[in-house]
Amino acid sequence: MDDCIIIGAGPAGLTAAIYLARFHLGIRLFDCGSSRAALIPCTHNHAGYPEGISGNDLLARMLEQAERYGAVREPAEVTALRVIEDGFGVRVGEREYGARTVLLATGVVNNRPDIDDALHAEALQRGLLRYCPICDGYEVTDKRVGVIGTGEHGMREAVFLRGFTADVTLIAPGGAHELDQACQDALDDAGIRRLDGPCGDFRIEGDQLSVGTAKGRQSFDSIYPALGSKIRSGLAVQAGAAAAEDGCLEVDDHQRTSLPGLFAAGDVAKGLDQISHAMGEAGVAATTIRNLLAEQRPIRR
């Protein structure tokens, strides 16, 4: 039985792997290769990289660091998680692996607008399409920005982006906007334009991304979809862990879920969806896991 199985090798899972391997614990690290960090063309808000670093380069560096201490990333999808005597059963393919503790670091998946995959990839790479105003709002300073969304979530994203540029348009994804009076007032107060949908038929035109709306085709320097995300907490919820209404796992200040021995870190847990936060949570989780295991059986060299 392993000391800990980490599910997910994004910034959270890899940070935990570095810590746990350096604690001389027996770990496994399963990952199905869809880290959100891999979508980052170049992050400029992650401390320590003044020139910025691509998400893939950051992940490769973290994996290299974890491997130095014996961690191995096994490319596989975990399909089930259950409580067994003294720990957890983690299913991968036909096999079930046993672990005394599990760290879930499976992240989230952004809901995308209806846009062709190749076009999506190019627009993302060129910063024409962006998903994280906290991360890269600075890069759209004084640019023409579109936000796809409506309701309170869309309003909040648009108002947040107003801190970077005066030229913000909120486009409803479907038909007409669904905005209550408070949302309309907040948008008016910030000077944010509204356009009804349906929005679609995306095209790259020169250095802009254009989109069809109820008022015809509109072009923007960057478009932010604000369509929410799917939280990849299903394995933990099926095993019995508590989650918030949006699907994020509930954790205490040591990253413990409601199931003893099951921990969560990164975007899958409630908190700020940022690399730095994912890494910090993983450091806390890994140290708590180490201390829990040491209580059960002294860790000695």
Ligand X SMILES: Cc1cc2nc3c(=O)[nH]c(=O)nc-3n(C[C@H](O)[C@H](O)[C@H](O)COP(=O)(O)OP(=O)(O)OC[C@H]3O[C@@H](n4cnc5c(N)ncnc54)[C@H](O)[C@@H]3O)c2cc1C
In the list 23, 30, 88, 220, the residue contacting ligand X (rule: CB under 6 A) is 30
In the list 6, 73, 88, 136, the residue contacting ligand X (rule: CB under 6 A) is 136
- Closer residue to ligand X, CB minimum distance, 143 or 193: 143
- Closer residue to ligand X, CB minimum distance, 56 or 219: 56
What distances in angstroms separate CA 38 from CA 29, 47, 59, 179, one per listed residue? 18, 17, 7, 34
Is 227 an interacting residue with respect to ligand X (CB under 6 A)?
no
Is 88 an interacting residue with respect to ligand X (CB under 6 A)?
no
50, burial (CB in 10 Å: exposed 0-12, middle 13-18, buried 19+): exposed
Burial 211-247, CB ≥16 within 10 A → b, else e: bbbeeeebbbbbbbbbbebebbbbbbeebebebeeeb
Contacts (Cβ under 8 Å, ≥6 apart) of 245: none
CB 99 within 8 Å of CB 28: yes
Beta bridge partner(s), residue 6: 29, 103
Q: Which two tokens stand for residue 76?
A: 């596989």
- Residues in contact with ligand X, shown as a per-residue x/- string from 250 to 289 under the rule CB under 6 A: ----------------xx-----xxxx-x-----------
Is 83 an interacting residue with respect to ligand X (CB under 6 A)?
no
CA atoms within 13 A on the CB side of 251: 28
Is 36 an interacting residue with respect to ligand X (CB under 6 A)?
yes
Is 54 an interacting residue with respect to ligand X (CB under 6 A)?
no
- Closer residue to ligand X, CB minimum distance, 112 or 193: 112
Footprint of ligand X on 90-109 (CB under 6 A): 105-107
By rule CB under 6 A, what count of residues binds ligand X?
A: 40
Is 162 an interacting residue with respect to ligand X (CB under 6 A)?
no
Chain positions contacting ligand X, by CB under 6 A: 7-13, 30-37, 39-40, 43, 45-46, 77-78, 105-107, 110, 124, 131-132, 135-136, 232, 235, 266-267, 273-276, 278
